[in-house]
Amino acid sequence: MDIASAGRELIRIGVGGQDYCVAVSAVREIRGWTPATPIPGAPDYIKGVINLRGLVLPILDLRVRLGAEAAEPGARSAVVVCEIHGRTIGLLVDAVSDILTVTAEQLQPTPDVARAGEDLIDGVLAMDGWMAGLLSLERVVPDVEIAQAA
Tell me the average pLDDT across 28-44: 94
Instruction: For residue 149, give the H/E element and its range.
Output: helix 143-149
pTM of the predicted protein model? 0.85
Domain-wise residue ranges, the chain: 3-149
- pLDDT for the residue 119: 82
Whether the pLDDT of residue 139 is over 50: the answer is yes
Tell me the average pLDDT across 36-53: 94
pLDDT: is 114 or 58 the higher one? Answer: 58
CATH 3.40.50.1370 fits 3-149, yes or no: no
Tell me the average pLDDT across 21-31: 95
- pLDDT for the residue 22: 95
3-state secondary structure 58-92: EEEEHHHHCCCCCCCCCCCCEEEEEEECCEEEEEE
* Bridge partners of residue 124, in order along the sequence: 108, 133
Least confident range from 41-45, 78-82, 92-96, 138-142: namely 138-142
Contact 12, 98 (CB under 8 A): yes
Reported confidence tier of residue 146, pLDDT bands at 50, 70, 90? low
Whether the pLDDT of residue 4 is over 70: the answer is no
Q: Which residues of 100-124 are buried (b: 16+ CB within 10 A; e: fewer)?
A: bebeeebbeebeeeeeeeeebbbbb
Whether the pLDDT of residue 85 is over 90: the answer is no
Whether the pLDDT of residue 117 is over 80: the answer is no
- pLDDT for the residue 135: 93
